[in-house]
Each structure stands twice: as C-alpha cells, then as structure tokens.
Chains A and B, each alone.
Chain A
C-alpha cells in the first residue's frame, strides 16, 4: 500500500508562524491540495495580503506577489488581465478584505475578474493584535472595543459572501468553515471548485472560510472552535450564495 497522506507539492516545508490552534494552516493545506489536484502549481500566482497571512508565500511553493493592505484584488486584476493563462488567487483576511480593501474586492467581483479569492473570516484583526474588524460580532471584545462591539456605534458585522452575491455579475460565492472535519472536506471541495471555474475562464470565484483566532479571542484552541460554532455560524450562514449558470 502506497502513501495515503503526504505534504502537498504546492506547500513548502517551512514551519509556519501561526499561533497554536489557528486555522490558517488548514486552509493553506486545502489551497495547496487543490493546486496539486488540478496540476496548476507551475502556472499559479498567489497574492499575499497584509495581516497574519502576509508571509503566506513562505508556506506555499508557487510564484507569489505581496500586496499592500486590501489591494490584493487590484494586483490580481493586473496579473490576470495581462496574463490570462496564469492561475491567480488572493488569500486575504477580514481586516484586509472587508475593511480597507472593500472597494477593491467589490469592483473586482463586479467586473467578473477571472481569479479566485480565499477570504479568511475570523472576526478580528490578528496580526496587529486583536483590534475590531468589520466582521467582529456584536458584543465581541477586541482591543479597540474593550467592552465589546457596540453596534449602535460601529454597525453590524459585514457578511461579505452575502454582499458579493448581491452583485448582478455572475460569479461563484460560497461560505464554508474549518471548525469540524466535515466542514474541512466541504471547504476543500469549494476551493477546488473555485479554481476550476477560473480554469474554465468562467467567473470570479470567492470562498469565505469561517476560521478561528484563539490568541486574540483569548480562548484555548478547543474553546475557540466551540465559540465559532456557537457564535459565528448562526450569523455567518454556510453554503453557496451564488453559482454561475
């Protein structure tokens, strides 16, 4: 019997800097597995965000370009427009994509740019140390919302997948999670599907992944999974929000 579990080729051998219990590592692996499955490592270009995944290029083994905060979809647009034969994906967190990068993601999605966005939603700014994000839940504590997010003052959390699905332009928009093994499997399928749509030159594809940030939530990894299940999933509903016809 041969090996049944190996490191994906599109993943480097480097140790990550992610905190214990952080789910970035899972999603990195899923992206790398999709790249391997589709045999596109040699023509894939990733765009790293600003935030915890800024060093994502240390953990993938494919060409990578590093963006300014929120600008990854504009960089991906530039690459994909001039080299439509390349497979291009952005990997962005919620501070990056849903706050400072809102303009870039909306317009890239609305133009139907033929690249893929992996959107990690853990309801907080990670790299800068736990500040409130547009996705932070009502009452959730953050360093810039020490008594909990006051929605009368800061509005309600933004549901990016719902928002992008409202655009009339065709696209693939889905929200998945990596809190349980079944969810991980579904997320893998969604990521692979997103890349397949890109390979077929069909549409913009967007995979939101509900994730955890035990460090900045102040929870143990296991408690973080439970908190996400109990608090995030009722608000961030899982499933496909839009599929191309």
Chain B
C-alpha cells in the first residue's frame, strides 16, 4: 500500500508550506491520488482552486499524515476527482463556479454556488459576463409509479438559514432528497484576496456565526504556521478554553433543538436556559456572547481575569448540576426515544467514504477528532475521550453530543486549573516572500480546514473548508427510506452549516 510519503516523492515539493507538505504533481499522480481516495485508503480533506491551479488535501487515516497535492491547469481543466470519489463532486462544482476550472470527466457539471445572480461568471478566475438567461436547475430524476415531488425552501417557516430541499416521495416515504444550496454565498474567499491579515481573521470569524471561534482559531493557526510565529502558552490555552466554550454552547442548543423537532419542547426550554448561561458567562468573561474576534493571529485579544474564571466555574457548576437530569429525561421519555432511535441511519461505510467529521462521523463509527488525531496544542497535554458510536441514527448523534458536553466540561476545568501565566499575544511579523500555511481545528460541527498564502502582510489566497461540505451529502443518504415528516429531525441532528458551505 503506498503511503502519502511515496506520493510526495512523485512531485516537486513546494517550499515555505507548513506544517504539512504540499507538492506540485502532474496529472497522472493527481489521478492516482483520486483513485486511492476512491479505494478508501486515504480520505479527502479538501479540494479548492486558484487562478490556474487546483489543490487537494489528503489525509492518511492510519498514520494521520496529511499532504496537499497541487496540479497546474493552464488550460483551465483538470482530471476530475469526483469521477472516482463522489465526495469531491460538489467541491469541483464550486471550483468551476468560482474559478472557471472545469473537472474533466466529471459526472455532474451543474452549477453549485452560482445561481446566476452575481452578474459575472467565475468571479475569482477570469471574470466574464453572466449568461443573459439561465437554464433552470436540473434536479436529479427519480422514476417510478405514483412518485410526487415536494419542494421545500429556500425560505422556511422557521428562523433558519435558506436552503432548498427537493423531495421525491412515494406517499410519505422519501425516495430521493436533493439539496440545492448556495443561497447565502457572501463571497468571503473573494474578500479575503488582498485583505490584511487582521481583516482576514475577522472575515474568517464570520464564515459561520456559530463556529466563529473555530474559524478564527483555524485561521490564526494557519497564519502562524505560514509565518512561523511562536504563540505564548497562555494564548494557546485560552484559545482551547474559548473553543470548548463554543462547543458547549452549541451542543447544548442542539440537544434541545433536536428534541423540539420531535415536538418535545421541554428539553429545548431547559437546554436553552443552559446554553444561555454559557453565552452570558462568555459575555462576562470575554466581552462577547459568541466570543467573536477574540482569537487573532499571534494570540488572543482578551485575557481572562480572576472574575472571569469565577464566572466560568459558576456556569460549569450550574450545568453539572442540571444537565444529568436532562439527559435522564431524554433517555426516559419513551415517546421521544421512539422518534430518535433508528431514524435517519447513516451507514459507517458512507461516513468513512465522505470522511465526515464531528458528531455525524463519530455517531457512525468514524473516530476522527482533530483534537485527538492531530493533537494540536494544548490538546496534546489535556485528558479527554473521543466518544464513538456505530448506530448512526439520530439517537446516536444526540448521545455523541451529550458525551462531548461532558468532555468539554472536563476540558474547561483542566484548562482553568493549568492555565499558564504570561502574555496573551505576540506581534505578527510579516514576511515579504509568499508563505503558505494550513490548519485543521475541531469546531463543534467537525474539522474546519483553512489553507492560506500570505505575502507581505496580505492574503494572496485563503480557502476555508467547512465540515458541512462532507456532511450535507450524507444527509441525503440518511433520509432515504425514512418518512417525509422525519426530515426536520434528521436535519437538525446533522445541523450542517448553510453559511459555512455557501461561503
């Protein structure tokens, strides 16, 4: 079995890329890598474009080695990865919409992010005028007797993000679900180009509001890797504290919201109270409820004082006192269990194929957690467990969250106990030559990947890959064979980001 190292020897290694290598390869190595992905030997971490280059980040699941391969495509086309490995399909469609680089031999050439409302085509590549009239989006067909279609969204009845879902159902049973996303495209990768590092960090924190710490954390780590910055210990530990606090708030909110989608509002009411207590504690300790713009390249902007520590400890004690009763309520309410158990089962093989991160992967037997597998500081010196279940149903995804809440509580305690003294930031020294960095940080949803190239204090190119890219397609698979009325429950248990994947 070839290792990633062998692959690296095939190409020309790019200097100034850290911490993992990046190599420029030719089309044959690119295709070989794609076929290895399809064989399931490696997992796809990301696929993104540049003016006339495509990059693909790959991980070897056994050795946790990571590498990026790059292919020059001066004629604006490259061999399709999606042809061999379906998880790459949507990424390739996004690359085409943004850069105009087409995937040769791809099985799906429909647009993804571009709804023909931008006024231009290929906004990050060679811009050309938009098509005067767009052809309607072709949804994948489903054939059979007495099938009917249900179109839901992009505007929904609740206060949620926009996305279109096209169900083909036979009575109540879902035969096929197809998602149509891209409604919240904000052009963040376009805004990144040429932005100063400080502004780019703020932009990264605004990709997906509920993961603002994870994104700022990942961006900062990538920028620091590129610039070879050494961050003070205290800042590193504070970042982990912020990240765990964010995870805690989101998981608590999710557990309640999933139960609410089974019309069990009691859980949501109580979980909502707990989530709010976390948000208020972060407001008191860090000056912002969602802790936005606190993690920056070089360190953090807000130190934790004695009062803040006391407030956080009080919030933790409150959650420890009340959360177990809620878990018991969830576990003992038969009518609720009846809804969540065996609903929306995601098969472990699919989770592995799509390299699904976060609770989606871990509820289906994929034991990847960037905090453990990649062990970035300070998680390398903290004690925690990575819960893994194999059932893959809504119930399993709830339980992963419950266990992770418990782990986060313990992690925050450890961090508060061992928080080193010292400064909370270092000056960011810019380099005149182009330097590249990459970072993967575990957000509450899964692994956030950020790759960037900096030159002279400006961002040349920055790609932000939300974990939802590999979770949204799995939702389509998980709902198949379930009933239409169970979709909101399945969807909430996935809780993918619209904003993060639309960028």
Do A and B truly interact? no
Which residues of B does A touch, CB under 8 Å?
A: none
